[in-house]
A and B are shown apart, each in its own frame.
Chain A
C-alpha cells in the first residue's frame, strides 16, 4: 500500500521504497552477524551492542538505505527466571504463556525511518539487566538524547558517551528504575475504609479484598 506514495519533487523524496527483504539483504551484507525476524510486515534486525554505532552510522550514510531519522527508541525488560503468566480462571481454554530465561536482558529497540524512500526498520539490541550498558548513539542521531535519558530513567541502561546521562521524567532523587519488571509496585501504603490497606495490583488476592 505504501508503494503508491510518490512525494512531490524538490526535496529528494522521490525514490521508491525498498522492500523489507532488500533492506535486510543490504544490512546483512555489510554486517553478517545481524539476524532478522519478520512479523506483521515489519522487519526487526537483532544486533550486538559492539556494532550498534557502526550499524546506525551505516544505515544513515548508505545511499540505498537513507535512514535520515531515528524516530523511536524504547526499552523492554525480560527478567531472568521462570515466569508463568496464566489467566485467573482455568475454565476458559485461553492459552497460558511462559517466559523462561537464563539471563535477564533489557531489549532496546531503535526505529529508523527514511523520508526520502518511505521505509523503516527496527533494530533490537539486548543488554544484561544486571549491568545494563550500551554505547550512546547521540553521535549518529542527535534526537537519541531524550530517548536514551528516558530508557536510563525507566530501565537503568547506562549509555556510554551520552552528553547528559540523567533522569528525565522521574524526580532526580528517585531510587530504582520503574519500568523494570522486578520493580515493586505500591511503594506507598494507601489506607481505605475500615482501616484496610489494599495491596498493589500484582500482589492482590481478590478473595482477601472482598473479605
Chain B
C-alpha cells in the first residue's frame, strides 16, 4: 500500500506514540492533555422530545455542562395573534403546547374574559374543567409513554399512547378534532357537549383507573425503572424557586403548590381534591406525583360530572358570543337550520351582527392582565395587552416547558450521559410550547 508522503511527513512532525504496558496507565493519563469533550445531542435525537438540541460538555462520561439550544420549532404564534381577531387567537394558541391544547385555550380565554370583565356560564366552566382534567391525564399518559420508551420500555409506550387515544376520541366527539380543538372560546365554548357526553366520560372513568393502576404496578416494580429514576435529576424546592420551575417538579420537591387550589379559576374551588407531593425531588418522585395527579384528575371529573349544571355554554351578550346553539351534525360541525332561518329570513339585525362578529370580531377594553392556569407542566400564564381594538396588541405566553428547560443544566451536572435522557424525560418539555 502506497503511503501518501504528506501524511507521513505530518505524522513524523508531531508524533507522540504512547505505549501502555501493564500498570502504566497513570503515566498515559499524565501525558495526554486534560480536556473535556463537547457533544451535540439532538436536534434529531429520539430521546429529546422533538427538536431539542443539547450541547453537552463531557469529562469522560460525566456531564460537566449542559446547554439547551432551542428555537427549531419557532412559528411566531405570538406575533401572528397580533394580526388576528380575539376569537381567532384561540386557534393559534391551542397549537403551542400540543399535548395540552385545552389549557392554552382556557388560559387565553380566561385572560380575554378578565379584560372583558364577563362571567362564563356555569355549564361552560364545568365542561372546561372536565375536558382540561381529561387533557391532563392524556398529557401524563404521553409522558409515561415517551419516558418509558426513552428508558427502553416500548411496552409502556404502546400502552400510554393506546389509552390516550381513548381520551382523544372523547375530544374528537365534542370538538371535531383530536388535537388543536379551538373548542374553548372567549365567553364560553364553541358548542354544547353532545347528548352522549356523560356516557363517554363514564366509560373512560371506568377504564382509566384500572389502566393507571396497571402501569403503576408495571413500572414501580420494574428494577430498571427504579435504578434509572431514583436519585437522578435532583432538584430541591430552593432550586425550583430560583430557576422558575413549577408544576409536578415543584410538587415532587415537596411544595404543595397548585394554582387550582391557590388561585382557583373556572370553579375549581367547588371540587374536592388533593395536591400530591413527594419529598425526594428526584425523577422517581416526579413519576409518583404524576401518577397521583391522574387519580386526582379523575376525582375532579367525577364530581364535575355529577354536578354538571344545565343552561347555556356561551355568554349571553350577543356582541361577544359566537353562535354556539348550533346543533352538532354527523360531520362533527353543525349548521343549525333554525339559526340559519332566523338570521337569513327573520332578522336583518341578527344577520348584520353575525356578519360583523365573524368578519371583524368584538373589541376588548384596553388593559393588561396576567392569567395563569395549572397546566400538566406547571404554570401556564398569558400576559395579554389590549389597546381596545378587535385584535390583541400583544400576547406573551409564559410557557412552563420553556422555563423548566433551564433546570436541565443543574439537574444533569455530575450525572452520566445516559442520565440526561432521564432528566429531559422527567422535565417533560413539549417543544411546541418551548419554541412557540
Contact = CB atoms under 8 A, between A and B. Distances in A.
Contacts of B396: 72, 74-76, 109
B242 A141 contact: yes
B367 A40 contact: yes
B144 interface: no
A71 B372 contact: yes
Interface in A46-83: 68-72, 74-77
B387 A99 contact: yes
B256 A11 contact: yes
B367 A1 contact: no
Contacts of B379: 71
Contacts of A76: 385, 393-394, 396
Given A146-B406, A169-B435, A179-B78, A40 B114 contact: yes
A97 B366 contact: yes
B363 interface: yes
B269 A71 contact: no
A97 B269 contact: no
A7 B71 contact: no
Contact of A169 (B74, B241, B372): B74
Interface string A28-48: 000000000001101010000
B162 interface: no
A92 B406 contact: no
Interface string B58-86: 00000000000011001010110001000
A13 B381 contact: no
Contacts of A115: 241, 255, 257
B347 interface: no
Contact of B381 (A71, A89, A92, A99): A71
Contacts of B241: 68-69, 115
A82 B117 CA distance: 29
B389 A7 contact: no
Contacts of B393: 76
B319 to A, nearest CB: 9
Contacts of B387: 85, 97, 99
Interface in A141-163: 141-143, 145-147
A69 B403 CA distance: 12
A42 B243 contact: no
Interface in A80-132: 85, 87-89, 92, 94-95, 97, 99, 109, 111, 115, 118, 120, 122
Nearest to B398: A72
Given A76-B394, A92-B356, A109-B383, A1 B388 contact: no
Contacts of A89: 360
A79 to B, nearest CB: 11
A10 B356 CA distance: 55
A40 B388 CA distance: 15
B312 interface: no
Interface residues of B, number: 54
A122 B436 contact: no
Interface in B140-164: none
Contacts of A77: 394
B115 interface: yes
B117 A94 contact: no
Contacts of A170: 71, 74
B377 to A, nearest CB: 14
A88 B406 CA distance: 44
Contacts of A168: 70-71
A119 B262 CA distance: 9
Given A111-B370, A202-B83, A142 B74 contact: no
B256 A8 contact: yes
A167 B71 CA distance: 9
B264 interface: yes
A145 B406 contact: yes
A199 interface: no
A70 B262 CA distance: 17
Contact of A146 (B78, B262, B269, B405): B405
A135 interface: no
A97 to B, nearest CB: 4
Interface in B341-387: 356, 360, 363, 366-370, 372, 379, 381, 383, 385, 387
A42 B360 contact: no
Contact of A143 (B237, B244, B436): B244
Contacts of B385: 76
B369 A42 contact: yes
B264 A1 contact: yes
Contacts of B71: 167-171
B83 A39 contact: no
Nearest to B370: A111
B317 to A, nearest CB: 14
B76 A178 contact: yes
A75 B369 CA distance: 13
A72 B370 contact: yes
A4 B370 CA distance: 21
Interface in B197-221: none
Interface of A: 1-2, 4-5, 7-8, 10-11, 13, 39-40, 42, 44, 68-72, 74-77, 85, 87-89, 92, 94-95, 97, 99, 109, 111, 115, 118, 120, 122, 141-143, 145-147, 167-171, 178-179, 185, 201-202
21 contacts: A1-B269, A5-B263, A13-B256, A39-B368, A42-B369, A68-B241, A71-B372, A71-B379, A87-B360, A87-B390, A94-B390, A97-B388, A97-B389, A115-B241, A115-B255, A142-B406, A145-B406, A168-B70, A169-B70, A185-B83, A202-B83
